[in-house]
Amino acid sequence: MKNRKNNYIYYWQLLFLAVVILFGSACQEEQMEPPVITGVINYEASPNDTAVTTIQTGQWVVLLGQNLSTVTQVNFGSVPATINTALFADGSLVVQLPDIPFESVPADELNIVTAISEGGMATFNINIIGDPLIAHVRSGEAAPNDTVVNVLYPGDEINIVGYNLKDATEIAFQGIAADLSKVVYTDTSAIVQVPADLSGSNALLANTITYTTDIGATSFSIRIVGPPVILNISLEVPFEGDMVHLFGFNFTAIQSLTFAGTEITDYQVEDESVLSFVSPALAQSGPVEITTLAGSFTTVFNVNDIAYINSGGVGILANMEWGDYFGWGWGNGDVNIYASDPNSGWPSYNSDYGVGYGAMYLVYKSAPLEAGEDGYLDGWGGNQILINDGGGQWVPTENLDDSGDNWALKFEMNVTKPWSGGTLCFRTASASNYIARYEPWKVSATKSVAVTTDGWQTISIPLSAFRLNDGEGDSISKVSDLLNADSGKTYMRVYLHNYRTSTTENFEAAFDNFRVVRR
């Protein structure tokens, strides 16, 4: 009986063992195999679907290997990519590289592709690149003198440190290109010499390194002590005795200064960035030219160009003189024309503003505005200045595709009464969704200061300042965005808008010489 019982127990033990073995075998068959990556190729039709050893952000690629159909996540340099499983197969996987913040990815993870599934994880090493990025600049000297630098001088040898810097197509300092034949590259840097002569620097790129590769471009702000750069001029059409201020950089060791062809020898300089002088009598128009021991700079536009402004031409929108370029649309709002001559009769003379830049100028007034109120009206009426309702030619037709940074809306303005609120807005008829804002009284979102001008001042507004979303959104991409794209013509409305939550004070100012010129 005992033997029969033992046999019975052995029978059930063997049966249980068989079930365990069978179940375990079935589980092993259902277990997912880990992915394997064996290579990367271009995601293009044959014969361009070739193997690659370098890939870049935004590029579509095919990962080759095994067990890839069950992959749920793909990382490039530890950054997850957006995946579409419809593009997956067991032996291949199509995916687009994500944007990668190279500066925040650990160096040992940067050039690794990772594929993850329930069965495991696969990695593959490949060179991953993107747009160039400059982190900082070091001296080009050997250690320990290769310290980080914050100021550059002409002729300096420097080490630009960052990411994706190899094989630059241009390295420029204030727009002046360096000699690429002498550049030495490492994995994370480029050793380059600052050009010895930075004369002719681009004022829009002052104190800026621009770095370009076949992949993209970047810019880096750093002080560059070189030739002078003029960014702005307080008054471009001064009368004799008017104070003129030049704003810019590197106004030091000055050898010569001319303003509209007239030499200026008596001037004051503050912090190497503001140069001031009393204007002499000027006999002609011409650029501003300044030469220092480090180089020279010449404006791309003329000053004292009043003869051209008053005679008219391309870019002259409203000179307030009788004739084809008078430019003011009559009868809208509290806007009136005044004469420069006290004995003119009509238009009358306004002693608050005195003499303008020809026979006449405008004065625009606004009563206090409630929060959100303005003088704009899409048509006749409203409290606004209507400029050239016939449609003025802003730029030559061949320049319609230029960047808005290359051109500026300019006018002379005289503010004798304190102005502490209310934004002066500019809006063209061809693109009323773009607005440029002028608010010199604004210190911050919560602070303002009342401003006046010391007589007439030249106001310069880059066309790139025309932006969406009440003038605070995206800028225009090209000049024609503001104009009739075929002719380069349009008219413009100038009005006051209260973007603040409190009521504004009265506003009053004189205007003359609306024009568009190169920057």
Cis peptide before 47 (omega within 30 of 0): yes
pLDDT tens digit sequence for 191-227: 999 999 898 889 889 999 999 999 999 999 999 988 8
315: left (phi over 0), alpha (psi -120 to 50) or beta: left
**First vs last Cα of the chain: how many Å apart?**
112
d(CA 280, CA 242): 8
**Cβ pair 489, 480 in contact under 8 A:** no
Read off the pLDDT of residues 293-310 as tens digits, 9 standing for 90 and up: 888 999 999 999 999 999
Per-residue model confidence as pLDDT tens digits over 238-270: 999 999 999 999 999 899 999 999 999 999 999
Q: Which residues are registered as beta bridge partners of 93?
A: 63, 88
Work out whether strand 223-224 and strand 151-152 pair parallel, antiparallel, or are unpaired: parallel
Asked if the bond preceding 80 is cis, omega within 30° of 0, the reply is no
Count Cβ atoms below 10 Å from residue 12 Cβ, excluding itself: 9
- Token look-up 């249980």 returns 16
Provide the whole-model pTM: 0.73
pLDDT band at 22 (very low <50, low <70, confident <90, very high): very low
Amino acid at 283: A
Q: What is the CA radius of gyration of the chain?
A: 34
Identity of the amino acid at 234: S
Under 8 Å between Cβ of 285 and 303? yes
Task: Please state the rounded mean pLDDT for residues 427-455.
Answer: 93
- What is the C-alpha separation between 468 and 392, in angstroms, rounded? 22
Per-residue confidence (pLDDT) for residue 106, from 0 to 100: 92
State the chain's mean pLDDT as an integer.
91
Residues 6+ apart with CB under 8 A from 329: 380, 385, 386, 387, 388, 389, 491
Euclidean distance between CA atoms 185 and 466, whole angstroms: 40
Query: How many CB atoms lie under 10 A from the CB of residue 443?
Result: 10
All structural domains of the chain, each given as residue ranges with its CATH number in brackets, are 36-129 (2.60.40.10), 135-224 (2.60.40.10), 230-298 (2.60.40), 306-518 (2.60.120.260)
- The percent of residues in the chain predicted with pLDDT above 90, rounded, is 78
Model pLDDT, residue 189: 95
Contacts with 504 (C-beta within 8 Å, 6 or more apart), sequence order:
366, 368, 369, 420, 421, 422, 496, 498
pLDDT in tens, 369-378: 999 999 888 7
